Amino acid sequence: MLTRFSLMAALALGTATAAWAQDATPKDGGKFVFVAPYGNSITSLDVTATPHTQDEIVGKAINRSLYKWNPESGKPELDLAESVTVSDDGKTYTYKLKDATFHNGDKLDADDVLWSYNRLADPKKALPGAEQMLQIAGVAEYQAGKADHISGLKKIDDKTIEITFINLANPGWNLMSDFAPIYSKDYPEDQLASKPNGLGPFKLANYVPGSKVELVKFDDYFEKGKPHLDKLDIMLMGEAPARDVAFRNGEIDVNVLGPVQYEAYTQDAALKDHILEVAEVYTRNIGFNPKIEAFKDKRVRQAINYAINKDLIVEKLLKNKAYPAVSWLPISSPAFDKNAKPYAYDPEKAKELLKEAGFEKGLKFSVTATSNESWGLPIVEAIIPMLAKVGVTVTTDPVENSVLSDKILSDNFESFIWSNSSGPDPLKYLTCFYSKTPQNACNYVKFNNADFDKLIDQAGNETDPAKQNDILRQANNLLEEEAPVWFFNYNKAVMAYQPWVHGLKPNGAELAIQDYEDVWIDDSAPASRK
């Protein structure tokens, strides 16, 4: 099994790296036509007003944050700051800002950072990016109305800021978020949604709501020599069949693939050599609600994990566009345990466990599910006969996306099947199983285990990354043992790209989020791209 998982990870990263490594010297100029595949519209050009990936795809071109995610190293690194010093107690960070210019010509200074973070944390603004501010000291008090400013934010001089955090965790995980960009304090706030003014490599040229976002190169972008492209068009295309036709017709330069298209593209000689694959940080799972008596018993939850042949489902239904899951943290996580073994398909063991738990006569529960092909009703329909063999009867509760989250957040479910973030920050996403994390935050299955809590507390206070990963690995293994969910699969994100496109990165955090400033097109591109 070790060999299998190592091989899978190597394949995932290897395919991606191969695609990325073939790039030669970047060429400047031309137009890149990207797609935002998660719908036919975006919410807002002000990325702080939304939590949606679709908006982040656009926001990434326009804005910049204090940190950025490095898809190659799998770690956050400084972006708008050129250097940082950390205090002896590990909680106070002093950042020296880079010389950077906003699209309207304003120069970045310390007040912009303070203003942006105050705005994000302001409870009256009700911005989704507030979540990223919670690690800053004084934000909780500010949000509760007990303080009129955030005590952890301090301006040292025009180019230097000092931020104090409440714990020892790397603040880069939160402050690299594309939903927490730095805006100009002098720019009218009411124009952010229609005329964004960021520090990113591209500035807005034209926005056709419900169709596309056209961007042009920002000449004063702070990374010298970038971006390479003159123009970037982001097409808002939620329909996979339409994207397929447009990609094959050369109208768009990338296509994010689902399982069926993945199979077709990998078998097509003209397309199979330009496919980027990566193990993404999403864990597909069936969450068990402990308010159902049977799910309080660990043996029942384990039995369900043993009773389902997930390898078969991944192969037949998902066309291998996924990696069977071991526990919560995905393959690409630094805390993923390569020695851990997933639950084997063992119906006899499942029956034995159910008998031990007093359910030898069987049990019945419903799964709330959307129609999603990779983690919805088709999957539930596949597991029904498998669970029936061990005496477990499963019924379906079909819902649409927003109803699924509504039912989960209001504790109105027996079990659910969903795809949830499980990275890139292992601590943050394991904390979703911390007993004090409310159900309507992300502890959807109300997991409560003292040993697990202890490990999370230890990890939060550990400054050595290697030691922290060891602790998180133990926590992840404990989670596997406790089986609060059926661990189904980790998403394999797949993007097809045209042969003239270079510089795309295997971003395991979300493949559709790309560093556009590094993308370039070569001379083989058609005239419409030049």
Partner 1 sequence: MPAVDGRTRPPPAPTPCEAKPLMLRFIIRRSLQMIPTLLAVVLIIFVIFSVVPGSFISSLMAEGRNVMNAEVLAHLNEQFGLDKPLPVRLWDYLWGLAHFDLGISYRTREPVWNVIEPRLWPSIKLALTAMGFAAAVGVPLGFLAALKPGSVFDTGTMMLAVSGLSVPEFWLGLLLMYVFALQLGLLPSFGYQPGSIRHIILPAIALGVSPMALLARTTRAGVLDVMNADFVRTARAKGLSEPRLVRAHVARNVLVLVLTTLGLQIGSLMGQAIVIEKLFSWPGIGSLLVDSVATRDIPVVQGTVIVIVLWFLVINMLVDVAYAAIDPRIKVT
Q: Which is nearer to partner 1, 18 or 208 (CB)?
A: 208
Among 268-276, 300-308, 338-346, 395-403, the segment contacting partner 1 (CB under 8 A): 395-403
Among 242, 312, 344, 388, interactor with partner 1 by CB under 8 A? 242
Among 134, 147, 312, 344, interactor with partner 1 by CB under 8 A? 134
Smallest separation (angstroms) from partner 1 to the CB of 367: 15
Residues 429-468 that bind partner 1 (CB under 8 A): 432, 438, 440-442
Among 157, 348, 406, 451, interactor with partner 1 by CB under 8 A? 406
Angle between helices 298-307 and 377-388 (to 10 degrees): 100
Strand partners, 84: 95
Among 3, 88, 89, 126, interactor with partner 1 by CB under 8 A? 126
Q: Per CB under 8 A, does 520 bind partner 1? A: no
Nearest-CA neighbor of 173 among 253, 68, 79?
Answer: 68
Q: Report the 10 Å Cβ neighbour count for 279.
A: 25
Residues 344-383 that bind partner 1 (CB under 8 A): none
Q: Which is nearer to partner 1, 14 or 378 (CB)?
A: 378
Q: Which is nearer to partner 1, 108 or 215 (CB)?
A: 215
Long-range CB pairs of 66-72, under 8 A, 24+ apart, other chains included: 66/95, 66/113, 66/175, 66/176, 66/180, 66/182, 67/171, 67/172, 67/175, 67/176, 68/176, 69/176, 69/424, 69/507, 69/509, 71/505, 71/506, 71/507, 71/508, 71/509, 71/515, 72/505, 72/506
Q: Which is nearer to partner 1, 122 or 346 (CB)?
A: 122
Smallest separation (angstroms) from partner 1 to the CB of 402: 4
Among 8, 260, 384, 409, interactor with partner 1 by CB under 8 A? 409
Q: Tokens 């603004």 belong to which residue? A: 125
Q: Per CB under 8 A, does 407 bind partner 1? A: yes
Q: Which is nearer to partner 1, 83 or 528 (CB)?
A: 528
Tokens of 432: 């979703």
Among 50-58, 151-159, 331-339, 344-352, the segment contacting partner 1 (CB under 8 A): 50-58
Q: Per CB under 8 A, does 238 bind partner 1? A: yes
Dihedral of the CA atoms 4, 466, 117, 424 (nearest 10)? Answer: 0
The DSSP symbol for 295 reads G
Smallest separation (angstroms) from partner 1 to the CB of 132: 9
Strand partners, 216: 203, 231
Question: 231 — phi, psi (to 5°)?
Answer: -135, 150
Q: Per CB under 8 A, does 166 bind partner 1? A: no
Q: Per CB under 8 A, does 53 bind partner 1? A: yes
Q: Tokens 């702080």 belong to which residue? A: 48
Smallest separation (angstroms) from partner 1 to the CB of 246: 5
Q: Tokens 């309080």 belong to which residue? A: 296
Q: Per CB under 8 A, does 264 bind partner 1? A: no
Q: Per CB under 8 A, does 40 bind partner 1? A: yes
Q: Per CB under 8 A, does 403 bind partner 1? A: yes
Smallest separation (angstroms) from partner 1 to the CB of 256: 14
* Rounded CA Rg of the chain: 24
Q: Tokens 């049977």 belong to which residue? A: 294
Strand partners, 492: 279
* Amino acid at site 328: W
Among 4-12, 104-112, 245-253, 321-329, the segment contacting partner 1 (CB under 8 A): 245-253
Q: Per CB under 8 A, does 511 bind partner 1? A: no
Angle between helices 298-307 and 347-356 (to 10 degrees): 160
* Per-residue buried b or exposed e for 102-128, using 16+ beta carbons within 10 Å of the residue's own CB: bbeebebbbebbbbbbbbbbeeeeebb
Q: Are strands 363-369 and 415-421 parallel, antiparallel or unpaired?
A: parallel
Q: Per CB under 8 A, does 392 bind partner 1? A: no
* Amino acid at site 356: E
Among 49-57, 85-93, 220-228, 461-469, the segment contacting partner 1 (CB under 8 A): 49-57
Among 77, 400, 451, 457, interactor with partner 1 by CB under 8 A? 400
Smallest separation (angstroms) from partner 1 to the CB of 123: 5
User: From start to end of 296-375, where are the E strands?
Assistant: 322-324, 363-369
Nearest-CA neighbor of 19 among 514, 525, 350, 517?
Answer: 514
Q: Which is nearer to partner 1, 68 or 502 (CB)?
A: 68
- In angstroms, rounded to a whole number, what is the distance separating the alpha carbons of residues 428 and 120? 19
Q: Which is nearer to partner 1, 101 or 143 (CB)?
A: 143
Map residues 187-216 to x or -, x wherever contact with partner 1 holds by CB under 8 A: ------xx-------------xxxxx----
Among 25, 73, 267, 402, interactor with partner 1 by CB under 8 A? 402
What residues line the site for partner 1 (CB under 8 A)?
A: 38-41, 43-44, 49-53, 123-128, 130-131, 134, 143, 179, 193-194, 208-212, 235-239, 241-242, 245-246, 248-249, 251, 282, 399-407, 409, 418-421, 428, 432, 438, 440-442, 510
